[in-house]
Amino acid sequence: MSVTRSTRAATALAAITLATAGVLAGCTSKSAADRQPHSGSGTASVVDGVQQITLHATDFRFSPSTITVHPGKVRIVVVNDGGGAPHDWKLPDFPADYVPLASNGQTKEATFTAPAAGRYQFVCTIHTKQGMTGTLVVLPS
């Protein structure tokens, strides 16, 4: 009789442990960053004949999160002032348009030719699931 009770108790404890682990695992896959709003917009300005815009990578968000450029050469500068994790910048549909990982406190940049007029999503390739995305708006000529 005590074996049956202890077996039931052990089974119940195992079920509770698994349920708790599942809840905690769900919490780690969706961070508080997912709930933070995207903010700000910016327009590239010409620096040494190249359109340039600086993005700050902070708290798993780009600021500004919407950037506007014109057709032609564009320099993206990523400043990682976000307190820890490294961040990069990429236009997923255009493999050459990539700013390499910048560790906390670092600044990285890359120059590329803006794609055709339209709206394109950009991402931090390692924090897309946390919502670290934005929009590149390329105006028509």
- SS3 at position 127: coil
In angstroms, how far apart are the furthest CA atoms of the chain?
85
pLDDT in tens, 43-101: 999 999 999 999 999 889 999 999 999 999 999 999 999 778 999 999 998 888 999 99
Q: What does pTM read for this prediction?
A: 0.73
CATH topology of domain 38-138: Immunoglobulin-like (2.60.40)
Phi and psi dihedrals of 87, rounded to 5? -140, 150
Rounded CA-CA distance 76/44 in Å is: 9
- Half-sphere exposure at residue 74, Cβ-oriented, CA atoms within 13 angstroms: 26
Q: Round the average pLDDT of the chain to a whole number and report it.
A: 82
